[in-house]
């Protein structure tokens, strides 16, 4: 990473991560669908949270970096104007984990109840 953080500090969206939340039964392709959707939602959530910290005219500057594909400048802009971005990502990530874990538990519980009723 650009700031030299080791890879262990990077949040990982992997099949193992998904399995730890209660989705071990999913087929590999199904896991990929969920992971992609999760990552996309995470991006949007982080954007939603960070944009509240930045003024509109500053965002114009950011858009100029993005428009010219200047990734380094765009990243530097984020570090300067939203220094807590990593914490925001982690907070959103944890929240997403909770939502997914809860959904898996609820689904499995509902399925068990249905099975019991059938049997």
Partner 1 sequence: MNHDCPDWAGRSLTITALSAWNRTIAEEILARFRQYAVEFSGSSTSTKRLSGLGQEARVVSVWGPKGTGKSSIVGAVQECLLNEADHPFVVVGPIQPEFFGPADNLLSVVLAELRRELIRTLAEEESPSVSSDEARRIIAAIEGAELTVAVSQATLPLLANAAATVDEFGRQIQRVAGATGGLWRRLAEATTQVAEAYGWIAILVDDPDLAPYQTLSTFRDIRNLATLPGVALLVAGNREMTRPALAPSSDLEIDGSGGAPDSRRWPSVGAELLAAETKVFPLSGSFSTSPPPWEERKAFVKLGRSESIEELLRQCAPYTPSDRNLLLNSLTAHSPLSAGYPLPERFRSLAQLWDQLDNMRQRPPTDLATSVDPSLTMSYLCNALFAHICPPRGARPIALSWGPVIETPSGRRRRVSCKFLSLNSGVTADSGFRDQVVLESSDNDNAVHLRLRSAQQVGSACFWAREEDFPRAAFKSDAAEDDMAAVLAIQEILYDSKLFDVGDEEALAGGFRPPSMAFLQVVRFEGQETDDHLVTLPTVKTWSGIAPAAQAWNGIVERWRDQGLSCVEVLALTLGAAHALANRDGFEAATASLDYRGALGILESYITTLEGSDDQLTLGQQELVNWYIGSVPAHWHSSIFGEEDIDLFTTNWNRVAKNWTSNASSSRRYRKWTLGQRLSSSLEDARDAGRALKLAWLGGYEQVVDRLAIKVPALPFSRVCRAWRDRVRMRHLGTVATRDAAAPPEENTGPESDAVPMTQPSEGADLLSSAPAPAADSEEARDGLMQAALLAIDQWQASADDF
Instruction: Report residue 88 as tokens.
Output: 């925001």
Residue selected from 47, 55, 68, 83 as contacting partner 1 according to rule CB under 8 A = 47
Window 48-87: residues binding partner 1 (CB under 8 A): 48-51, 54, 59, 62-63, 66, 71, 74-75, 78, 82, 85-86
Q: Which SS3 state, helix, strand or coil, does residue 89 take?
A: helix
Binding to partner 1 by residue 113, rule CB under 8 A?
Answer: no
**37 binds partner 1 per the rule CB under 8 A:** yes
User: With contacts defined by CB under 8 A, how many residues of the chain interact with partner 1?
Assistant: 64
Question: Hey, what are 40's tokens?
Answer: 């996309």
Nearest alpha carbon to residue 86 among 34, 49, 36: 49
Between the CA atoms of 86, 90, 93 and 97, what dihedral angle is there, to the nearest 10 degrees? 170
The answer to whether 92 and 42 have CB atoms below 8 angstroms apart is yes
Chain residues binding partner 1 by CB under 8 A are 1-2, 10-15, 23, 25-51, 54, 59, 62-63, 66, 71, 74-75, 78, 82, 85-86, 88-90, 92-93, 95-96, 99-100, 102-104, 106-108, 111
């Amino acid at each position: 990473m650009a700031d030299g953080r080791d890879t262990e500090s990077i949040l990982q969206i992997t099949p193992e991560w998904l399995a730890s939340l209660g989705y071990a039964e999913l087929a590999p392709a199904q896991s990929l669908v969920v992971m992609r959707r999760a990552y996309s939602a995470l991006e949007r959530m982080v954007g939603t949270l960070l944009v509240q910290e930045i003024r509109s005219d500053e965002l114009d500057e950011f858009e100029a970096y993005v428009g010219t594909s200047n990734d380094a400048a765009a990243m530097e802009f984020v570090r300067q104007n939203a220094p807590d971005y990593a914490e925001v990502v982690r907070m959103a990530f944890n929240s997403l984990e909770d939502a997914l874990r809860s959904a898996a538990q609820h689904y499995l519980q509902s399925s068990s109840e249905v099975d019991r009723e059938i049997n």
